[in-house]
Amino acid sequence: MKEKVVLAYSGGLDTTALIPWLKENFDYEVICCCVNCGQGNELDGLEERAKLSGASKLYIEDIVDEFSEEFIMPCVAAGAVYEHKYLLGTSMARPAIARKLVEIARKENASAICHGATGKGNDQIRFELGIKALAPDIRIIAPWRMTDVWKMKSRQDEIDYCAAHGINLPFDASHSYSRDRNLWHISHEGLELEDPSQAPNYDDMLVLSVTPQKAPDQETEITMTFEGGVPKTLNGKAMKVSEIITELNAIGGANGIGIVDIVENRVVGMKSRGVYETPGGTILMEAHEQLEELILDRETLEMKKKLGSQFAQIVYEGKWYTPLREAIEAFVWSTQKYVTGEVKLKLYKGNIIKAGTTSPYSLYNESLASFTTGDLYDHHDADGFITLFGLPLKVRAMKMAEVNKK
């Protein structure tokens, strides 16, 4: 009986060419696994294509809800943003996909898992760290790093390889952006983006959004409610997290929200430029942050921002299945106990504008914040506070004056 390999299958040219390649070079029985994280119509026609290419079986696993609740929401609650801009769309999805690949490999008694990530990117790290953490006994095959066996260097090479194996597929060698899509975002790399001096060709690129210039010249108002840091309703309608993100993607995309052009530092050491469309995620994270402004005390909020940045780094580097990620997430959820309330926003040509936030747990006290004198605050108390708070500065200044006299 042949050994089995589970192939992380997207249906694109790379992973399609991998099916005959795995059979030819390793004599494996190839079982394809496509993990649906919200790719939309990218899943159309996959079963026929996989079988045509020589796979013995195709699993299409829908994990949209668990992706939303178990991977996206911890990052939203943490306020996790990598290098101030990237909302971790691909980074969050890879450990979710790795978990499902391991599950299918166990079910099929497969001895190996194969992925089509390149040797220059972050995804190879994210996939493999996830697999190693969950199934250290399973072999990992990364063809793009196996240059002694994987001889293909271009799309045309892969097309020719498939044709030589009797696989005629609807792909051509014309260049296009390298994209990754899921419920949370879509990323774009390649073409003019490889030159940082060039502006993105947004007219040819954007999938979920329009540019702010092309957005309607009128505001769109939305209202969201949260309970314990988790969104519960959008515009008065109760929905699952995945449904809220889907609806926010449509609303935000139409208003030019969440388009980011970034040069980021990859884990492998190089800089990479990409454009990310995250319309719904940008709105959701902004709404969550505005609610936290009312509810969290200063020191908790300050610590949460520090740990949120570290959480983003951990997720970006593929270290989801680590004790540190679990520990930080436990802290984050402990801060969300009272993050409950309503957030109103106005969307206008790429901008998210506050329109009012309320919470039964708000620490904002109008009497304290007002310029008029309230019962809870005596202006004279500031004298002693400033004296003590500024004492180190005064002592140092006195010492420096004494030293300079000598």
Q: Are 344 and 400 in a shared domain?
A: no
Q: Are 158 and 185 in a shared domain?
A: no
Query: Is 317 a member of any domain?
Result: no
Q: Are 132 and 206 in a shared domain?
A: no
Q: By the 8 A CB rule, do 349 and 256 touch?
A: yes
Query: Is 303 a member of any domain?
Result: no
Q: Which of 133, 164, 195 is the last residue of a domain?
A: 164
Residue with the bigger pLDDT between 173 and 199: it is 199
Q: Are 191 and 123 in a shared domain?
A: no
**What residues pair up with 224 in beta bridges, in sequence order?**
234, 343
Query: Is 105 a member of any domain?
Result: yes
pLDDT band at 128 (very low <50, low <70, confident <90, very high): very high
CA distance linking residue 230 with residue 240, whole number of Å: 10
Question: Which pLDDT does position 369 carry in this prediction?
Answer: 63
Query: Is 96 a member of any domain?
Result: yes
Catalytic site positions: 14, 94, 123, 178
The pLDDT tens digits of the residues spanning 249-263 come to 999 999 999 999 999
The pLDDT tens digits of the residues spanning 43-66 come to 888 888 898 899 999 999 999 999
Whether 41 shows a pLDDT value over 90: the answer reads no
- Burial category of 196 from C-beta neighbours within 10 Å (exposed 0-12, middle 13-18, buried 19 and up): exposed
Question: Which pLDDT does position 176 carry in this prediction?
Answer: 80
pLDDT band at 153 (very low <50, low <70, confident <90, very high): confident
Query: Is 301 a member of any domain?
Result: no
Number of domains in the chain: 3
CA distance linking residue 14 with residue 123, whole number of Å: 14
Whether 146 shows a pLDDT value over 80: the answer reads yes
| Boundaries of domain holding 119 | 4-164
CA distance linking residue 310 with residue 78, whole number of Å: 10
Strand order in the sheet with 4-8: 57-62, 29-36, 4-8, 112-114, 139-141
CA distance linking residue 191 with residue 211, whole number of Å: 19
DSSP H/E element including 341? strand 341-348
271: its two tokens: 């800089």
Contacts 24+ apart (CB under 8 A), 368-374: none
Q: Looking up tokens 């959701």, which residue turns up?
A: 284
Q: Are 10 and 152 in a shared domain?
A: yes
Question: Which pLDDT does position 169 carry in this prediction?
Answer: 74
DSSP E strand stretches across 45-194: 57-62, 112-114, 139-141, 178-181, 186-189
Whether 371 shows a pLDDT value over 80: the answer reads no
The pLDDT tens digits of the residues spanning 269-328 come to 999 999 999 999 999 999 999 999 999 999 999 999 999 999 999 999 999 999 999 999
CA distance linking residue 304 with residue 328, whole number of Å: 9
Q: Are 349 and 202 in a shared domain?
A: yes
